[in-house]
Amino acid sequence: MNELINIITSIRFNDVIDIAIIAYIVYKVFQIIRRTRAEQLLKGLFILLVATKLSEVLQLRTINWMLRNAMTVGVIALLIVFQPELRNALESLGRNKVFTKFIFSASDRESSVEIVDEIVKAVKYLSKSSIGALIVIERETGLNDIINTGTRMESFISGELLINIFIPNTPLHDGAVLIRGNKVMAAGCFLPLSQNSNISKELGTRHRAGIGITEISDAICVIVSEETGVISLAQNGRLSRYLDTKTLREVLLSELKKKQIDFKGNNWFKWVNRHE
């Protein structure tokens, strides 16, 4: 008991901060790798560590030598294997709210409602007509590399425009539409496919592409199935299916009403609802 009391009394405030920071980092790492290939790889790494320690205790020198050398090379291999997760972690750090600011004004909310209503109007028609669609809504992570894969439009959003883009056998129907603020920036864009092995086999390329873009960015992707007309929404690498238009509208509004303010030179400016 005395030893326990001595340990507790010897803990400094700096130690508490140190432990809290480490705990937060571990928690965020688990959040990033959960339900990804990295989770399985970490389990394999843990087994190797246990095997290495056991071979040392049992004095299995040859096996221990092989495992130790494998672990040395494994550090470089891990950096290659975990590249998507490391990229995701760095992007998450870059999106930290320390560097961004949000303003909620009446005009902002009205503009967000107009944008969402036009998207929902298009999705409702496309769903009823069983016309496939991929609508990516850019947020803080810039997606110029995705825009460059499609045909630039830079047109103000309207339900009619979105519907016409996805009508079968039209030049731009195959691919994704990318929305930035209140504009359709490009159509016919190519998206990276998700490599998540846990995705249901019944989901096709369109859904994998929708999930894929949300794995490498903080974008939101609305997906309409061509086979069934089912409405889905991908965010943070996760897919929500069988949404109705009311639920879709509520989710989009809750996200798009947050207006990012970026710092450029010596001036703060609005990003989402910038009107020319």
Per-residue pLDDT tens digits for 32-86: 666 555 666 677 778 888 888 888 888 888 888 888 887 777 667 666 766 666 6
The average pLDDT across 137-152 equals: 90
What would the pLDDT profile of 178-215 be if each residue is shown by its tens digit?
Answer: 999 889 999 999 999 988 878 888 889 999 999 999 98
pTM of the full predicted structure?
Answer: 0.63
Rounded Cα–Cα distance for residues 152 and 166 (Å) = 15
pLDDT at 148: 92
pLDDT of 261 strictly over 60: no
pLDDT at 250: 93
C-beta of residue 130 within 8 angstroms of C-beta of residue 228: yes
Confidence of residue 30 (pLDDT cuts 50, 70, 90): confident
pLDDT of 26 strictly over 70: yes
Torsion 252-212-139-97 (CA) sign: positive
Cβ-proximal residues to 236 (8 Å cutoff; 6+ apart), any chain? 214, 215, 218
What would the pLDDT profile of 222-249 be if each residue is shown by its tens digit?
Answer: 999 999 999 999 998 899 999 999 999 9
Torsion 16-18-24-26 (CA) sign: negative
The 220-224 sheet, strands edge to edge:
151-156, 183-189, 176-180, 133-137, 220-224, 231-235, 238-243
pLDDT at 60: 86
CATH of 101-270, one of 3.40.50.300, 2.30.31.10, 3.40.1700.10, 3.40.930.10: 3.40.1700.10
Question: What are the extents of the domains in the chain?
Answer: 2-94, 101-270
In the 8-state DSSP scheme, what is residue 203? -
Mean pLDDT of all residues in the chain?
A: 80
What is the end-to-end Cα distance of the chain in Å, rounded? 71
* Integer-rounded Cα radius of gyration of the chain: 24
Rounded Cα–Cα distance for residues 30 and 62 (Å) = 34
pLDDT at 88: 62
Residue of 266, 258, 273, 274 lying closest to 100 (CA atoms): 258
pLDDT at 29: 72
The average pLDDT across 91-117 equals: 59
pLDDT of 123 strictly over 80: yes
C-beta of residue 228 within 8 angstroms of C-beta of residue 154: no
